[in-house]
Structure 1
Amino acid sequence: MSADRYDKCIKKNICELMAFYNKSSLPEHVLFGVEFDRAEMGLVSQKWPLPSNQQLSESIPQDLVKAWEGQLNNPATSDCQFNVQGQIIYANSAILCARSKYFELVFRGQWLESDITKQEILQSSTKDQKDYNNNSVISQRCNHVIDVTDFHHQTFLEMLRFLYTNKVTFVEKKDEQNSQLTPLDLFRIADKYLIDDLRQHAKSEIFKDLNVNDAAEFLFGTAWKYPELKEQAMKYVVLNFVTVRQTSGFKNILADPSSYPAYTDLLNEILAELFPATGSVNTGKPAKEENA
């Protein structure tokens, strides 16, 4: 549309509008919206969706991943030592600080608590290293030596591998019984060391494998300790309660409530979700279903 033709159209529309409205009722300034079928005003910037963590991880060249993985547990390039279950793991504090707020503060001698678990951070100490296997003094001197007592060696090493490579390996559900690399293991360690990406990875894996048979045990036994796990597990149990209440896991909980510290609160919360009008309800076994 030419500029002259466009001006004529605008004037015509204004005249028609003025004829329709009483001039005295119009405000002093009138703003008209204009819609163009095509605007040749140059390219408009477009925001593309950011890649997911998995996509980012997959985009890293494998040779680069292997190169960084080779730096983990390498005394020649490390300045900190972790003593985990009688085994030594070496790492570089600069890498850990860049990837974890926990390590950034612990190596600065500060204190912090996880927002979720409220676990206190221990300060590192400086001392000569000793090889726990042959008790010989290692020639290199580490700036930080930290004893880790609350996680398995395998779990701690995998957490460090994620910090180095952005890669993580979760054991398959069928093999979880004899492994320390379950999604829950890695969720717990990611929570303590404030590694949000790893925590989200682990959380996704946890709920991907959740089913009605183990949902109640998971909620009452573990998830209640972590608000973000509890919220999602609670929704799952409530949504599938007709089936969940018939599982052996739920019946075991009802039979031994003293083994579950949050039993009363959780059961009341479930009942309140199922029957919102009744509010808090006394706990007890669900009524038996009548045979058809």
Structure 2
Amino acid sequence: MLNGTVRTLSNSAVTMDPVDGFGNRSSFEFELTNVHQLQGKVCSPRFETMPNIFWQLGFVLESPNDPEYCAVYLHAICNMDEVDEYDPSRNDCLPARMYLKRSDGSIIKEMTTSSRFKFKAVKIRRLRMAQFCRRSRLTDNLIIGVRLKSTQLGNHFFRTLSFHEPVPVKPIPGTLISAWKNEFQKPGSGDVKITVQGQTIFASSSILAKRSEYFQRMFNGSWLECNRSINEQHMIEDDTISNDRRDSTDIEIDGTKSSSKMTINRQYQYSVDIPDFDYQTAVQMLLFLYTDQVDINNCPNIWNLYTIANKYLITDLEMEAKLKILEGMSINTAAESLFGNAWKWPDLKKRFLRYVVDNFSQIRNSHGYKTIVANRSKYPMFLELNSEILLSFIPETVES
């Protein structure tokens, strides 16, 4: 949900200036309004440092690492040619100096990225400064900006610079989502057979390995979750099998029906079993790996999505789910989230525990908390968590 707004500043916000040994630098600035009402990640419009080299700034009011801080991101937006690795010219713009400043131009905070950081494999899609600035220092209207080293295109390029449409990013069309879901059900669509709750999903090992370090290690190693080289037969019914295919394939034709049946022998390079997640969650994860987007607002179980992203080392999806979880924290949901799920991850446990303690006078009377107390045997960490909550109200004694 986007309660604040992002506005591109006038063309004068894109400047070139020699400072601090950085050489000529190009500054890109965007205005954030209603900052203290922002929820989740807010992204700037895309901008270019040379033709077909796009970037985007991101801002999160409450850092996933520390809620007392905000986080700032620099995203590398892949072009059609950046499939496995980024264009080396991207790194000619680094290091980057990211900053926040007030509407009057005075700097709130600025930080320069490490000179060792480079955009290489496309799995690394962003550069994040997780604890950029204390939230208490932020004004309600501010400017987010980045200074990058100037490109070889120089002044002429920046005189003709134009910005692209602002985010939020346009949702994936429903037809595209349906198309990919259909592909996941086709035996011929990949070399990986994934089994989830007795159902089968077919996927491409090259895509999974490029998007997830977990899958990359799985396919390159000897993991119990992954069996190699399986032969299977699949029966396909299709009204549209071409004559060419019929000439080269043994097909059984039922004279009473118009459809054709074709048996295909197929060998899968990998067989993966996912026993600890439901089918819909696995499909959502795969859709993100294929499209880099997720319909986070219509996720049937956000905790399952966060858990599967955490397990399979899909950092961007994990972050999206985490922000949605924190956004949904309330008097009515905090206790259930803490006792049911958040305790499994130290950072989330800390945040939810603090929220429950700070609002315990209301939460203790909520339906959610009363249900947990009445069904405490269903919550394996009930005694420990409840003790932590109650002990937080007792002052520590100092031994003399």
> TM tier, shorter chain?
0.5 to 0.7
Q: CA deviation at 1:103?
A: 0.6
Q: Partner of 1:164 in structure 2?
A: 290
Q: Partner of 1:140 in structure 2?
A: 266
Matched, 1:193 2:199: no
User: Contact conserved, 1:272 with 1:278, CA < 8 A, in 2?
Assistant: no
Q: CA deviation at 1:182?
A: 2.1
1:201-221 CA-to-partner distances (Å, cap 9, x unmatched) read: 111111212211121122112
Matched, 1:102 2:228: no
CA shift in 2, pair 1:164/1:234, >3 Å: same
Q: Partner of 2:376 in structure 1?
A: 257
Task: Tell me the number of residue pairs that the alignment of Structure 1 and Structure 2 aligns.
Answer: 224
TM-score by length of 2: 0.48
What letter corresponds to residue 45 of structure 1 in structure 2?
A: R
What letter corresponds to residue 342 of structure 2 in structure 1?
A: A
Matched, 1:271 2:390: yes
User: Contact conserved, 2:296 with 2:320, CA < 8 A, in 1?
Assistant: no
**Distance in 2 between residues matched to 1:275 and 1:194, nearest whole Å:** 39
Q: CA deviation at 1:195?
A: 1.0
1:246-268 CA-to-partner distances (Å, cap 9, x unmatched) read: 11222233344333221222122
What letter corresponds to residue 221 of structure 1 in structure 2?
A: G
What letter corresponds to residue 100 of structure 1 in structure 2?
A: S
Q: Which of 232, 235, 251 is 1:129 aligned to?
A: 232
Q: Partner of 1:51 in structure 2?
A: 57
- 5+ unaligned residues in a row in structure 2: which ranges? 1-17, 30-55, 59-72, 78-166, 238-261
Give the SS at the match of 1:146: strand
User: Contact conserved, 1:80 with 1:143, CA < 8 A, in 2?
Assistant: yes
**Distance in 1 between residues matched to 2:286 and 2:189, nearest whole Å:** 15
Matched, 1:231 2:350: yes
Name the stretch that deviates more: 143-152 or 159-168.
Answer: 143-152
User: Contact conserved, 1:171 with 1:182, CA < 8 A, in 2?
Assistant: no
Q: CA deviation at 1:124?
A: 2.5
Q: Which of 155, 165, 179 is 2:281 aligned to?
A: 155
Q: CA deviation at 1:199?
A: 0.9
TM-score by length of 1: 0.63
**Distance in 2 between residues matched to 1:203 and 1:42, nearest whole Å:** 36
User: Contact conserved, 1:128 with 1:137, CA < 8 A, in 2?
Assistant: no
User: Contact conserved, 2:192 with 2:269, CA < 8 A, in 1?
Assistant: yes
What letter corresponds to residue 260 of structure 1 in structure 2?
A: Y
CA shift in 2, pair 1:249/1:58, >3 Å: closer
Q: CA deviation at 1:77?
A: 4.6
What is the CA RMSD across the aligned residues, in angstroms?
Answer: 3.9
Give the SS at the match of 1:212: coil
What letter corresponds to residue 219 of structure 2 in structure 1?
A: F
Instruction: Give the number of the structure whose residues are more often strand, by fraction.
Output: 2
CA shift in 2, pair 1:255/1:148, >3 Å: closer
**Distance in 1 between residues matched to 2:22 and 2:348, nearest whole Å:** 48
User: Contact conserved, 2:228 with 2:268, CA < 8 A, in 1?
Assistant: no
The higher radius of gyration belongs to 1
1:181-234 CA-to-partner distances (Å, cap 9, x unmatched) read: 321121111122111111111111112122111211221122112223212211
CA shift in 2, pair 1:245/1:98, >3 Å: same
Name the stretch that deviates more: 82-91 or 203-212.
Answer: 82-91
User: Contact conserved, 1:95 with 1:163, CA < 8 A, in 2?
Assistant: yes
**Distance in 2 between residues matched to 1:159 and 1:129, nearest whole Å:** 25
Give the SS at the match of 2:231: coil
Give the SS at the match of 2:193: strand
Q: Partner of 2:35 in structure 1?
A: none
Q: CA deviation at 1:158?
A: 1.1
Q: CA deviation at 1:76?
A: 4.1
